[in-house]
Chains A and B, each alone.
Chain A
Amino acid sequence: MTVENGMDAGPPHAATVVSRTQESPTIFTLQLRLDDAAAQAAYRFAPGQFNMLYLFGVGEVPISIMSDPGDRIGIGHTIRAAGRVTRGLAELQPGDPVGLRGPFGRGWPLQEMGGNDIVLVTGGLGCAPVVSVVHYILKRRDRFGKLVIIQGVKHAEDLIWREQYDHWASMPDTQVLVAATEGAALWPWHVGRVTDLFALARFNPKRAAAMMCGPEGMMRTAAESLLQRGVPESRLFLSMERNMQCAVGRCGHCQLGGSFVCRDGPVYSWGQVKDLLVHRGF
Chain B
Amino acid sequence: MFSGHEPAGFLPLALLDTLVAALMAQGYECQGPAVENGAIVMRELAETDVLPRGLQAEQAPGHYRLTQDPLNRYFAWANGPQAIKPQVFAPKESMWRVERDEAGALQFAAVLPEMPKQAIIGVRACDLAALALQDAHFLRDGRRDAHYAQRREQLFLVAVQCAVPASTCFCASTGDGPTPTTGYDISLAELAEGFVVVASSGKGEAVLSALNLLPATSQQIDAAQQQGQAAAASQTRSLPSRNLLEALMSQLEHPRWDEVAARCLACGNCTAVCPTCFCHAEGDEPSLDGHSSEHGRIWDSCFSESHGHLHGFNVRPDIRSRYRQWLIHKLATWHEQYGRSGCIGCGRCIAWCPVGIDLTEEVSALTASEAQL
Interface string of B244-261 (1 = CB under 8 A from A): 000001001100000000
- Whether A281 touches B95, Cβ cut-off 8 Å, given contacts A242-B315, A245-B282, is no
One of B146, B280, B308 near A251 (C-beta < 8 A)? B280
Q: How far is the CA of A9 from the CA of B252 in the complex (A)?
A: 33
Most buried by B among A12, A58, A248, A253: A253
One of A11, A257, A259 near B98 (C-beta < 8 A)? A11
Kindly list chain A residues whose C-beta atoms are within 8 Å of the C-beta of B286.
Answer: 56-58
B95 engages A10 (CB within 8 Å): yes
Most buried by B among A57, A251, A279, A280: A57
B137 CB-CB contact with A under 8 Å: yes
Interface residues of B in 113-154 (CB under 8 A from A): 137-138, 143, 145-146
B335 CB-CB contact with A under 8 Å: yes
Kindly list chain B residues whose C-beta atoms are within 8 Å of the C-beta of A9.
Answer: 143, 145-146
One of A80, A243, A258 near B307 (C-beta < 8 A)? A243
Interface residues of B in 232-280 (CB under 8 A from A): 249, 252-253, 278-280
A243 engages B108 (CB within 8 Å): no
Interface string of B304-345 (1 = CB under 8 A from A): 001111111001101011101100010001111100000000
A250 engages B253 (CB within 8 Å): no
Which of B12-20, B80-88, B182-190, B292-300 is the contact stretch? B292-300
Interface residues of A in 83-98 (CB under 8 A from B): 83, 96-98
B293 engages A12 (CB within 8 Å): no
B106 engages A250 (CB within 8 Å): no
A1 CB-CB contact with B under 8 Å: no
Kindly list chain B residues whose C-beta atoms are within 8 Å of the C-beta of A97.
Answer: 100, 104-106
B107 CB-CB contact with A under 8 Å: yes
A96 engages B104 (CB within 8 Å): yes
- Whether A243 touches B308, Cβ cut-off 8 Å, given contacts A250-B145, A251-B282, is yes
B300 engages A251 (CB within 8 Å): yes
One of B96, B308, B311 near A10 (C-beta < 8 A)? B96
Q: How far is the CA of A242 from the CA of B321 in the complex (A)?
A: 15
Most buried by B among A35, A58, A258: A258
B35 CB-CB contact with A under 8 Å: no
One of A57, A98, A243 near B293 (C-beta < 8 A)? A57
A-side residues, CB < 8 A to B, are: 7, 9-14, 35, 54, 56-60, 80, 82-83, 96-99, 241-243, 245-246, 248-253, 255, 257-259, 275, 279-282
Identify 10 residue pairs between A and B in the complex whose beta-carbon atoms are under 8 Å apart, listed by A's number. Answer: A10-B95, A11-B108, A14-B107, A56-B100, A59-B283, A82-B311, A96-B104, A241-B310, A246-B280, A250-B278
